[in-house]
Structure 1
Amino acid sequence: FSTGDMLTTVLKDVFQDIDIYEDRFRFLQYPFDSPVSDAGIRFYKFYIMDTVYVERDKCFHLSFVPNNSQDFGFTGHLYILADSTYRVKECQLNLPKKTDINFVDNMIIDQKFGELPTGEWALLEDDMLCELSYLKKVLGSYLVRRTTRYFDFAFDPLPDKLFKKKGDEIKDVNAMMRDDKYWSQYRQEDLTQSENRMSSFVDDLTKIKGFKYIMFVLKAFIENFVETSTPDSKVDIGPINTMITSNYIDGLRLRASAQTTANLNPHLFLKGYYAYGFKDQKSKYMGEVEYSFDKKEYLPREFPKHSLTFTYQYDNMLPSDKFINTDKDNVFTSLKVCTVDQYNYERKATIKYEREREFGFKTTAMIRYANYEPCGELFYRTMAGESSLQTFIAEQQLSGQKWVHSPFNTHDITVAEASVAFRYAPGETFVNTKQRRLPINLDAPVFTLQHTLALKGVLGGDYTYNVTEASVYKRFWFSSWGNVDARLKGGIQWNKVPFPLLIMPAANLSYIIQDETFNLINNMEFLNDRYASLDVSWNMQGKLFNRIPLLKKLKWREFIGVKCLWGTLTDKNNPFLEQNRNDDVLMKFPGHYDYNGEYRYSSNVMDPKKPYVEITAGIHNIFKLLHVEYVRRLNYNNLPTANKWGIRFMIRTVF
């Protein structure tokens, strides 16, 4: 599949280089204890097998196995020099047959060390052979073979500035442009006959009658985009899963989307969509122009990103849409767990500058003009307008009628804001797909800091405000007990603003699991101007299920988590206080009128001493694909909009 450098990135992240002299190294996206580390002495059992010669060097032959065969560890052999240095001459690593890692049937890693002419001891050969399978009886199995030879060593001192801010590895910017002649010159071992035939094998497949149609459907399903030509598509059609959806405002919604690729221009990229809702009979659209200062292979989001983007969009949006990390028109997330009828028509123009560095630091500067017009059951009405409405109703004796669209409502609001954000994630790696870029090395800590400033009167902006937000993420590994992901966030709205500009929780309103969101908080259920959230999840990687008969054969993995939200609304932004009864800035919180004309709020003020808490218990790796979680809401259940529990799921494959 033509997915940019997706395959290369995945293989490099999954089948990483192994340094047995590290106490712990990352392999198959899991941490393993080295058999020659201090931790390995406790993790493995060792057996002295024999004394043998390996290439004229006398060695002790040791074999080793994990104390528990289902823990993440290797079996294998060590050949250690029988002299005072006890150096490793050769190391053979295998995955135990009963390991809990998905898809891997067999794994052999063979490393050989030797002495250089200069006297240094170094790794010279590093070979790996891996047998992968899924539904083996139907699809068979697949071999991944990697042969690595090290040569031309140099130990001259290198200037520190050479690697400064570039990490431990420097890549040739033209590495992807090299031809076969270049690689043949530096390859230490010739390709096998079968490896040389791979390109012709792929060509032969494409000539099979009907095969290209099968590939077309598969690529559309997996990549979510359709190429307009092969192999060098200049325009891709998609995302496919956004073409037919529905929502409260649009009813049936049809959408056509497309994006250009580097095959058209490696620096200039265009993207956009046109959508039509048959219920409101309105057109929605988005157009985006992005200029990349670096030459790209396929898409502008390829790491590291350095670009300037202009976007113009008009569409209906949920206030919570900004928290989901997929397209708002994704057909799988369009099915909501509750009735969602409070939307905005949003018209936005954005200029954004992004600069990423190789060492994981990203800077984003943005200027945005936005106009928000409420639609559906959402309306804007200032507290002064609410007082005028109540006086009007009393004078006309019209109590009980629905006044949602009364002349006392505010038709729309406009903001003009500038923001700057910093993100630091040392060691982070990505997968580039045709739709988005996904982080795959979740071991990297992530630190973010953002400030947004808006000024009244600038570009027609109605309000002045400042918003500051910060977050920290870190993954902790506990050897065979799995990993804990912890994420802490906090933010402050410093100024007096109406409710659309307050801070609302990151609510997930669909049945599909979305990272960094709350599963049982409804749309705008809580509105704050100060908040802090904590998300802690523990994936035990089957530590308990592996010790239960029958269950251990299923390779299910346990998952538990807790999410907490502390929030408060200061007096200056609280429309329920008597002092703000006639305020001309603050707005009446969202809600609905019932059949009797009584207004019932759907947005609430949190108790600053009572955090919202929801807990999760789940089973992952069902059929090696499905993750199912049960979510329970522990408090604020007295609110009429509260859902006490729910089931969420997603499709995700991991080793």
Structure 2
Amino acid sequence: MNGSKNIGLGLLLLLTLGFSSVFAQTTRVKGLVTDKSGAPLPFVSVFVPGTAFGMVTDAAGRYELQFDSPKDSLRFSLMGYKAVTIRIKPGQEQVRNAVLESSAKTLSEFVVKRKKERYRNKDNPAVELIRLVIDNKSKNRMEHYDYANYNQYEKLEFALSNLSDKIRNSRFTRKYQFVFENQDTTKLEGRSLLPMYLEEKLADVYFRRDPEKKKTIIKADKKVSFENYIDNRGLSAYLNHIYQSVDIYDNNMMLFTNQFLSPIANAGPTFYRYYIADTITTADSSKLIVLEFYPRNKMDRLLEGKLYITLDGNYAIQKADMTANKEINLNFIRDFHLYMDFEKTPDGRYFMNKNTLMADFGLFKGSSGLYGERTVSIKDMVINKPMPEAFYAGSPVVENENETAKPDSFWMAHRHDTLTTAETKVYQNIDSLQNMKSFKRTMDIITFLLAGWKSVGTKFEVGPVNTFYNFNPVEGFRLRLGGRTTPKFSKSIYLEGYTAYGFKDQRWKYYFGGSYAFNHKSVYQWPVRAIKASYQHDTKIPGQELQFVQEDNFLLSFKRGNNDKWLYNDIFRLNYLHEFDNHSAFQLGFKHWRQSPAGTLSYYKGTGMADSVKRIATAELSLEVRWAPHEEFYQGKNFRIPIPNKYPIFTFRAIAGVKGLFNSGYNYQNISLNIYKMVYMSQLGYSEVVVEGGYIFGKVPYPLLTIHRANQTYAYQLQSYNLMNFLEFVSDRYAGINIDHNFNGFIFNKIPLLRKLKLREVAAVKVLYGGLSRDNDPRLDPSMIQFSKYTDGTPITYTLGKQPYIEGSVGIANIFKLLRLDLVKRFTYLDNPLISNWGIRGRVRFDF
């Protein structure tokens, strides 16, 4: 996971580390919570009034609470039931059961009482009912209408929960007491919440069924800003990615970046057990069936809870209360609840007018952690009122940042829910916090540790720290120092550069570049419309292409096998990038490149070293077109980390080498296409799929051919070939596919010894076809630069024949919740010298 993305996550998770409480006498209470009929009640809040001690009952209605406090009472509460308080004996171990009485609903009749018998779908009235719900899904969705429009309010909140007095009163937080005084003890019974992030959005949404189009016009947008330290837009995108909008009528619901099978999915009866709990009558005399559902396998990524189903012939969901089993293979999420409410339309159908997702995050077991909540509310639904055809054209999301900043009076009049007192203060408190010198110093340290950059004043940064030192066979010990400007220097102009020195080759390297934004925004703020010029004099490994990582990162100093064939490069680049609101973009470029072999690499013609080539010079014109529909990303400086979703990303490149331009020696054309797609497979996990291909027209020496991406580090790289050597294969035409699949523990969850470790299985396969035309094969033309060889004459570089290059891997992910280890096997071209047939590669990745 990249450092800049870690800043956003670290800012929210940092204070959850090491929290603890100071206790007095220990009280242990356990018991069962039921309703008046004796049926167990899951998800009941059990807490000690006046303290931060609390929990929720499990799926069987049981609880077990241990705390140190002289309090002598315990309180039980659940939405739709009257709260109950019972007396307990402090300092003792005891059993206390509780019975809750329904408040919002009146029991009409008891239909079925669950019996202890073998569960089966056949002749099961609960399964017959859920099949009716499934059969009627299409007419109970918004897509049933030709047109619909409504007003939508979204609220996303993150808060530190149950902070101990030790943390609040420590010497590190004494200056921030005005923040700690803003705790909310009323919103979530049994927990004390300290809001740290709040985001609100108000929009008008328009839907058209045929052709399907959804257009969102954002009217107002307000959020806590950490813009001095992190990408505020990227942080918002990532948090909303974790808390995506969900629809129970979809077969799969995305919760915390993972797919959960809906209880009313077409395949629901295969994975869930259903029980009819009771029939109730609402205030408007409508009858509902309460249906409980549970996963057949508690370790699968499935939900459990209650559905309230209408009996008016629509078999629609009127309310849903869902969570997941605590044994499920999730990281950092100790508990979550998803509530959905539906409202009746004039034509007798139901639409979801409110859903709330609440989650308790924690890095370690204990009472302190991070609480997150997202609420989406809909009102003023209008059905089958079309807008003009031209209205639906253009971007699906329309936002004018100059018009969405609204005063507090607007929000008070238009937000669907009233904020709590603590929520109303969070905007002001965070602004005040960021203006404090001590907080700025703390954030500078955090930014340096997580991203590797240190501010020098307000207009310049030095870094990244992980490139200050590294080593390699060509340069030996290498030192580097770099820096860049910040938006405080100029929003339209961005400057960067570095200098480095290799103590073995005794050469200086350097880079300097600058960008100018024509839209007078930050040159790395989407959508970018900027021109950039740069010049680099440095080393490079031919065939190594890295994502989001500097090539001279210290960790990349460690490589397997022979790694002494490098290049000295002098590269001048001039690019214009133009991004559009619909996430398409084009880039025009010019590149003048002079490359010289370094280390033991040499360029020569004929059969000997006498006719050596000291330098190759090219001048290229390029066009890149990229389309990434619905793309979201975390924006760092000089790079972007995409936030995965189900939509593909297309990248097309066309390059033309021009002979004679700035002493360029070659005419050629190079076209390539890359398609990336995340494929979600519900209970079977997800795959990252990359399909790519390219073709080179013209006669060029092999260093200008496609040198296939190799990896000789010990890090697992998704889009490189992890057992291919640098410079091993070149082509002028190629096609390949990479599939990397994560099963999310689908297999390991069924193995008792493995499921407790919450490990996840992964597998990958990479296939590459390629070839070389006769015109570009130096083995047929001595006048061309010949393929590289080792000092003993053994070839280093080869072409791909009729047989593709294939490698595959199987591995274990989620080791310590972060590490992935793969056993990689190479299946073809095993006779090439100095290759590895097997290897172990590692990768660090943050996943829920």
Fold similarity call, TM over 0.5: yes
In the alignment, is the contact (CA less than 8 A) between 1:535 and 1:561 conserved in 2? yes
Are 1:592 and 2:790 matched, yes or no? Answer: yes
Q: 2:846 is paired with a residue of what secondary structure?
A: coil
Correspondence 1:453-468 to 2 at 5 A: 453-468=656-671
Correspondence 1:28-47 to 2 at 5 A: 28-47=256-275
In the alignment, is the contact (CA less than 8 A) between 1:3 and 1:223 conserved in 2? no
TM-aligned CA deviation for residue 260 of structure 1: 2.4
Are 1:125 and 2:319 matched, yes or no? Answer: no
* Pair 1:550–1:340, CA change in 2 (3 A): same
Output the CA distance in 2 between the equivalents of 1:187 and 1:227: 39
Say which of 278, 282, 285 aligns to 2:510: 285
CA offsets per residue over residues 554-602 of structure 1, 9 Å max, x none?
111111111122222222122223xx13x2xx10211232xxxx43321
Letter in 1 for 2:370: Y
Output the CA distance in 1 between the equivalents of 2:464 and 2:831: 40
2:826 aligned partner: 633
1:436 aligned partner: 639
In the alignment, is the contact (CA less than 8 A) between 1:224 and 1:435 conserved in 2? no
Of 47-56 and 527-536, the range deviating more from structure 2: 47-56
* Pair 1:275–1:165, CA change in 2 (3 A): farther
Output the CA distance in 2 between the equivalents of 1:171 and 1:77: 38
Letter in 1 for 2:278: D
1:395 aligned partner: none
Output the CA distance in 1 between the equivalents of 2:575 and 2:777: 33
Output the CA distance in 2 between the equivalents of 1:261 and 1:492: 40
Output the CA distance in 2 between the equivalents of 1:351 and 1:208: 41
Output the CA distance in 1 between the equivalents of 2:362 and 2:306: 25
Letter in 2 for 1:272: G
1:358 aligned partner: 581
Q: 1:591 is paired with a residue of what secondary structure?
A: coil
Are 1:23 and 2:251 matched, yes or no? Answer: yes
1:421 aligned partner: 624
* Pair 1:415–1:163, CA change in 2 (3 A): farther
Are 1:619 and 2:841 matched, yes or no? Answer: no
Letter in 1 for 2:789: G
Correspondence 1:259-408 to 2 at 5 A: 259-296=484-521, 299-383=522-606, 386=607, 390=608, 408=611
Output the CA distance in 1 between the equivalents of 2:741 and 2:648: 16
2:796 aligned partner: 602
TM-aligned CA deviation for residue 491 of structure 1: 1.5
Q: 1:271 is paired with a residue of what secondary structure?
A: strand
CA RMSD of aligned residues (A): 2.7
Are 1:525 and 2:728 matched, yes or no? Answer: yes
In the alignment, is the contact (CA less than 8 A) between 2:763 and 2:811 conserved in 1? yes
Letter in 2 for 1:88: I
Letter in 2 for 1:74: L
2:613 aligned partner: 410
In the alignment, is the contact (CA less than 8 A) between 1:591 and 1:602 conserved in 2? yes
2:840 aligned partner: 647
TM-aligned CA deviation for residue 529 of structure 1: 1.6
Q: 2:687 is paired with a residue of what secondary structure?
A: strand
Output the CA distance in 2 between the equivalents of 1:175 and 1:278: 56
In the alignment, is the contact (CA less than 8 A) between 1:452 and 1:468 conserved in 2? yes
Of 60-69 and 514-523, the range deviating more from structure 2: 60-69
Output the CA distance in 2 between the equivalents of 1:26 and 1:626: 23
Correspondence 1:520-599 to 2 at 5 A: 520-577=723-780, 580-581=781-782, 583=783, 586-593=784-791, 598-599=792-793
In the alignment, is the contact (CA less than 8 A) between 2:544 and 2:726 conserved in 1? no
TM-aligned CA deviation for residue 546 of structure 1: 0.8
Identity value in percent? 30
TM-aligned CA deviation for residue 343 of structure 1: 1.5
In the alignment, is the contact (CA less than 8 A) between 1:313 and 1:348 conserved in 2? yes
Letter in 2 for 1:521: M
In the alignment, is the contact (CA less than 8 A) between 1:301 and 1:437 conserved in 2? no
Unaligned runs of 5+ in 1: 391-402
Are 1:254 and 2:448 matched, yes or no? Answer: no
Letter in 1 for 2:794: R
Output the CA distance in 2 between the equivalents of 1:355 and 1:208: 38
Output the CA distance in 1 between the equivalents of 2:648 and 2:809: 23
In the alignment, is the contact (CA less than 8 A) between 1:292 and 1:300 conserved in 2? yes
Correspondence 1:38-77 to 2 at 5 A: 38-56=266-284, 57-77=286-306
TM-aligned CA deviation for residue 142 of structure 1: 1.4
2:374 aligned partner: 146
Output the CA distance in 1 between the equivalents of 2:578 and 2:793: 48
TM-aligned CA deviation for residue 538 of structure 1: 2.1
In the alignment, is the contact (CA less than 8 A) between 1:21 and 1:34 conserved in 2? yes
TM-aligned CA deviation for residue 493 of structure 1: 1.8
Q: 1:221 is paired with a residue of what secondary structure?
A: helix
Please report the TM-score for the alignment, with normalisation by the length of structure 2: 0.68
Output the CA distance in 2 between the equivalents of 1:175 and 1:62: 46
In the alignment, is the contact (CA less than 8 A) between 1:636 and 1:642 conserved in 2? no
Output the CA distance in 2 between the equivalents of 1:179 and 1:382: 72
* Pair 1:553–1:287, CA change in 2 (3 A): same
1:400 aligned partner: none
2:387 aligned partner: 158
**Which one has a bigger Cα radius of gyration?**
2
TM-aligned CA deviation for residue 175 of structure 1: 7.0
Output the CA distance in 2 between the equivalents of 1:78 and 1:559: 34
* Pair 1:268–1:39, CA change in 2 (3 A): farther
Please report the TM-score for the alignment, with normalisation by the length of structure 1: 0.88
Unaligned runs of 5+ in 2: 1-10, 12-228
CA offsets per residue over residues 453-511 of structure 1, 9 Å max, x none?
11111222110111121223333333211123332221122221111111111111211
Output the CA distance in 1 between the equivalents of 2:408 and 2:595: 55
Output the CA distance in 2 between the equivalents of 1:349 and 1:179: 48
* Pair 1:246–1:175, CA change in 2 (3 A): farther
Of 342-351 and 355-364, the range deviating more from structure 2: 355-364
TM-aligned CA deviation for residue 437 of structure 1: 0.8
Q: 1:220 is paired with a residue of what secondary structure?
A: helix
* Pair 1:54–1:125, CA change in 2 (3 A): farther
TM-aligned CA deviation for residue 205 of structure 1: 7.7
In the alignment, is the contact (CA less than 8 A) between 2:561 and 2:834 conserved in 1? no
Output the CA distance in 2 between the equivalents of 1:339 and 1:305: 41
